Structure formats: C-alpha cells, structure tokens
Chain A
C-alpha cells in the first residue's frame, strides 16, 4: 500500500523554512535553465517565421550565405525566365536580384556595436516579401537615398527611428519607414533600393536572386533545374529552408547555457539531498512507526522520493513564475550565417515550461533517491529507541 501524498505535503509544510530555502535554490537553477530554453525557442521561432515556401533563393555555388555570394547580371537574366516562375499583373516574372551587405551599428544602451544586414531590394523585391507590413512612414523611393528599417533594428540599435539619418556607403540615408514581418529575420534588416546601394558600395553584381514559384511543385522543380545546370554554377534552395538552417546560430547559447545549467544542477542536487537526509533523520521514529503499521520498504522509498520530487517541482514552479514577466523580452545574438545581428524574443512556450519542469523533476529524483533508500533500510528497533 502506498503512503498518501498528503503525508509528504504536510511534512514539507511543517519544515517550511528548510523547504523554502531548498526550493529557492532549485528555483534559481530551473530559472537559469528555462531562460536558456526560452532563448533558444525564441530564436528558432524567428527563423521558422522567416521566408515563404514558394520563394526560391539563388546564390553562388558552394556558398551558404547571401553576404559572400555574388551573381552577375547576365546570370540573373538567364534564370529569371525559367519555367515555373510566377508573373505579376503586368506579366513580368516575380524575380528580384538583391544586394546584401553588412553594416556595423551601435547597440542601444552602449553595449558595443553589432552588424546589421542591409538589403538592397530589386524592383520586385517588395512584392516577393508580401509578409512585410509598414508600421509607419512609407517604403523607400528610388533616387532619394531612403531606407526602411525592420522594427527589431529600431528597438535594438541606437538613434534609429523614423526621420533619423544613417551614415553608410557614400553618405547619409534617411529612414522613411518602419516595417514588421511577424518577428522574422527580416525584422532585423534594413531595406533600401538596390541600384542606389550598388552605386554607393561599388558592387554592380547581385548577392542573391529571389524567385517566386507558381506552385510548390514548381518551387522544387526550380530548385532542381538551377542546381543541376552546370553552366550556371548556382545554388538554389527554398527561402524557408535557407532560414531553417540558420537555427544553428543558437549553438553557442545552447552549449554555454547547457554547461552552466548542468553545473548549477549538480549543486542544487546536493542541496536537495542534504534537505532530504535531514528530513529522514528527523523522522526516523516516524518511519519506524510507518513500518510497524505495515507500510513496506518500497512504499517508504517511493514516499520519500516523491517528497523530494514535490520539493524540487515546487522550486521549479517558483523559478518559472519568477521568469514569466520576461516573456517577450527582445534580445539579439549573432546570426552565424549572415554574420549580423538576429533580433528575437524570449518565448516561454508550453514546451519550454514542460522541459523546465522535467528538469526540476530530475533534480528531485536524483537528489532524493539516496536519502529515500536510507529511509527504507532503517532498522525498526534502533529507530524506535533513538
């Protein structure tokens, strides 16, 4: 027969001082772990939200990023009339040769500089990125040295807002619009008309070409056609898979955060073990009485492990509650593909919370097992006399 859970709950409440202190220690560990998980989840989400499955991105063969790629104008001419590309109302193919460069801007709050992707859009560039919506101002007009900034760039970098002047290339550019694209990678970019930018940076070639396929089947056919054409020497993939691959930018956070959470977890395990050993010692006579009443050794073992898990779960919930107000916090890290800042939001998804609770549960299991085993092995007679 199992010992009722109420017995454990009441015991935890009776020794509330020790319970609270241990739980807070676990809470700190779980908070650190769930913070890392929320960072990774936010980063992943931002990359998943980027791109359109019908868009096909073309770069130079052998490269995996737009920044170092270059495509000549003649090659652009060769691919924009490939079969399967959608056309606009005027019958022109939806294809845009973009110029992508990286500029260094000062972060808000003076924490150093970070790179920002600056994208020169071809004539159809905006039509191909239908997800982007203007929040204020208007889209840049050609010939007037105007740019539009992603909403995340405005938040993360200093002195960037509507009407501000940015200095890059051969002079100043005016911020005339702020746009948003569902928290995707585009929110971390600055957009300008391509031809003007090409003149400023002395880069007549395109970095990449974006094509809109007429259908999903046409998209995969386009990818296949371009990849297999040996004369072109180009690399094509759907825009969504290009961004999905960049999720690996989270690898340093995952590694460093994982090591920190692991070390803290060891410390928290020892602390939980300590508390549970004290609980077992304190209740030696009680345990003996339970045994006399007919509770078996396994049920005592189970009961103490359960108590330990309850203790750390309580801590886990505390830790998560303490972090919840930071849900949605904007932060940025290096996109290892484009070598520029990727801004994203912290996301405490149900998945993150479940993982954090599982982590707390594991702490309780590991910390509680040895004390519980000792409790179940105790000699009844000596314990009663003690």
Chain B
C-alpha cells in the first residue's frame, strides 16, 4: 500500500465526518473565492483593453453638476482623442418605481457612441436604424432578454430629472460585456427641455493608445483649470470604482470577512483532525511499534488534513465560480458586477489557500500524535 493510498483510506474511514468537514470547508472557500474575485475585479484588473482607453470627463464639483455642452468640442480637439460622446443620465422610471424595474438610461450621440465603444457587437443594419431614428433606443442583449423586448418594441420612460417622458422605439440590440442599459438620442431630450440643450452630465471619449492616457488627462485638466467649471478626467474603470467606494470602506469589509472565513476553516479542519487522531491513538502506537518513524506519522496526518481541506477547497471554489457566473449573468446585477468571474488564477489561489490551511491546522495534532509515548498510547481507552 502506497503512502497516498494509506492517507486516502484514513481520510475516508469515517465518511460522515469527512463529508461534513469537506462541506464546511467548501462553503467557506466558496465565500473566499467570491471575495477574491471581487477584489481582483475591482482593484487589480484593468478591464478589457477597449475599456482601458476610455476616459470620462465630468464636473469636478460632483456628478450632480453638469458641464457646458460646448466643452465637447474643446475635448474633441485635444490630440489623441479619437471619438467622444455625451453621456447623460436620464434616471427615468420604467413601468413603476420598483427597484427591479430600474436600469441605466443614457442620452448619447448616436453616431459617436459606437466609436467610443468599438467593443460593442451590433448588426450594421440595426446600428443604421438607431442612428437615423431620433426617437430610437438601443439596449444591450441582457436587458432586452430581461424584459423580453424585441426590435420595434415601444418603451416609455417617465422623466424625473428632466421634465419629459420619452416615447422610444427599440431599434437595436447589441452585445456588450461591461455595459448594461439603454441608450437614446440626447437630441430628443434637448429638443424638449431647453436647459438640457446647453448642458451635459459627462463626456465619454476614447484615446488612440495607452500612452495617450496620462497626457490627455493632464491636458484636459489644465485646459479647464481656470474656467468657471473645473473638469475631472479619469478612466472609465476609476469612474466606476468611485461608485463602489461610495458604498463605504469596501476594501476593509472584504479583507475582514476574508480573514474571518480563513480563520473559520482553520478551526474546522483543526477540530476534525484532533477528533480523528484521538480515535486512532492506539493505532498510532501500533504503527510505531511496527517501526514507522515520527516523521512518517507526522506526514501521514498532515497529508490527511491537507487532502480533506483541498477537497473542500476544490468543491468550494467551483461552487464559487458557479455563483459568480450567476451574479454576472443575472439581469439585476449592477454594471460593475457583470464583469465578475473566477479566473484560473483565482481558483489556484483558492486551492493554495485551502492546502495551506490544511497544512497549518493539521500540524499541531499530527505533531502530538507523532510524539506519543507508545506504552501510554497502547493503554489508551477511547
């Protein structure tokens, strides 16, 4: 019988206990995988390549202040800026005030938007239809699926910020990974509301290459520094993160929950190993009399603990990956969540964490088992 087979046999001899331990570890690791993926997606990932080249310009005071519409021309003239569109938050009500009927609605320049978002996949015929229909709307596929919208569908949005109701016709359905929402012609609102003509909430624009980003940010910041409305320029990613940071100290929250989870697994596996070793004290003495060395016995039990923790880790991380898939594909997930996914790197990190925890928690009980006095152990009743 090989060493690994022996470990495996031992691990499965109290099936119920092993199963319960594996499940307990699995649920903790599920949480850990999700937390790690959220952390990676928020704070380590630069996003898809197209997103890294997209910048957002808005009023420095806060998002509730607008910029003069003519600023668009000034920004468009900055060398390196390839395409630019206004992005105006409509904040309209669809059907009713229920949170589940809430989705993002932006007033845009229908031609420019597809140059700012070259990563969107859209049928050319639909794109043309949207561009030429002043009362047209385009939505991403996920949102269309949520409501079962087909092309040609009439959508009415009741205005809250703008005193106007939009009667839109769905002209295009596009596929996007990061964006979820509805876009319409800003002109529609500007024609109806006089003050909307001269003001825009934000400008989204794309630069040619990554090396342009810092220069363009600097030039635009300086350009408006002494104007009556200072402009803040940041990457699309940083802009989205600013919403996350409004929720509170998200970093500290993830870290502390993660720590609690790791510690909980440590306790669970350590407890299991202590229980299973207590049952086998006589057996250990027997192994020793047969000539097994301390080191081998230590390895035997540490190996068992690592095997159990790793089994839980693999199960849990896969469950976590499934949960992330569900979150990312649910139509009710806010935009930031739609790019969540468990990468191979995260999965490996989760397994490494599980193995390490197994190692740490198995060591003390195993060490005590290895150093047992044979005579006392043989006499042990238990």
A residues whose Cβ falls under 8 Å from a Cβ of B: 17-18, 21-22, 24-25, 28-29, 31-32, 62-63, 67-68, 101-104, 107, 111-115, 168-170, 201, 251-253, 260, 263-264, 266-268, 270-271, 273-275, 277-278, 282, 331-334, 339, 341
Contacts and interface: CB of A to CB of B under 8 A. Distances in A.
A21 B270 contact: yes
B2 interface: no
Contacts of B272: 274
Contacts of B63: 102, 104, 115, 339
B338 interface: no
Contacts of A114: 245-246
B249 A277 contact: no
Interface centre among A63, A253, A266 (most CB of B within 10 A): A266
A26 to B, nearest CB: 9
Given A267-B27, A274-B20, A275-B271, A331 B248 contact: yes
Interface of B: 16-17, 20-21, 23-28, 30-31, 60-65, 91, 99, 158, 160-161, 228, 241-242, 245-249, 251-252, 257, 260-261, 263-265, 267-268, 270-272, 274-275, 382
B312 to A, nearest CB: 9
Given A104-B61, A112-B242, A274-B17, A18 B274 contact: yes
Contacts, number: 139
Given A21-B271, A277-B20, 10 more contacts: A32-B260, A68-B161, A103-B62, A267-B268, A270-B23, A270-B24, A271-B271, A274-B271, A332-B248, A334-B246
Given A25-B268, A112-B242, A270-B27, A31 B260 contact: yes
Nearest to A169: B61
Contact of B249 (A252, A260, A331): A331
Contacts of B27: 263-264, 266-267, 270
Contacts of A278: 17, 275
Contact of B24 (A113, A169, A274, A334): A274
27 contacts: A17-B271, A21-B270, A28-B267, A32-B260, A63-B160, A68-B161, A101-B62, A104-B62, A111-B252, A112-B242, A115-B64, A170-B228, A263-B27, A264-B28, A266-B23, A267-B264, A270-B20, A270-B27, A271-B267, A273-B20, A274-B17, A274-B20, A331-B249, A332-B248, A334-B247, A334-B248, A339-B64
Interface centre among B26, B61, B91 (most CB of A within 10 A): B61
A115 B246 contact: yes
A28 B263 contact: yes
A267 B274 contact: no
A22 B264 CA distance: 9
A33 to B, nearest CB: 11
Residues of B contacting A: mostly: helix
B247 A333 contact: yes
Nearest to B243: A334
Nearest to B320: A263
A252 B337 CA distance: 13
Nearest to B28: A267
B61 A103 contact: yes
B230 to A, nearest CB: 9
A372 to B, nearest CB: 15
A252 B245 CA distance: 13
A21 B364 CA distance: 14
Contacts of B245: 107, 111-114
Contacts of A331: 248-249
A271 B268 contact: yes
A108 B161 CA distance: 31
Contacts of A67: 64
Nearest to B382: A282
Shortest 8 CB-CB contacts between residues of A and residues of B: A112-B245, A270-B24, A267-B27, A21-B271, A104-B62, A334-B246, A274-B20, A333-B248
Contact of A101 (B64, B158, B268): B64
A28 B264 contact: yes
Interface centre among A22, A115, A170 (most CB of B within 10 A): A115
Interface centre among A101, A104, A339 (most CB of B within 10 A): A104
A127 to B, nearest CB: 27
Given A168-B61, A274-B24, A339-B63, A111 B275 contact: no
A331 B198 CA distance: 39
Contacts of B264: 25, 28-29, 264, 267-268, 271
Contacts of B252: 111
A278 B268 CA distance: 13
A173 to B, nearest CB: 12
B285 to A, nearest CB: 19
Contacts of A25: 264, 267-268, 271
Nearest to B23: A270
Contacts of B161: 68
A263 B62 contact: no
Nearest to A22: B271
B257 A260 contact: yes
B77 to A, nearest CB: 25
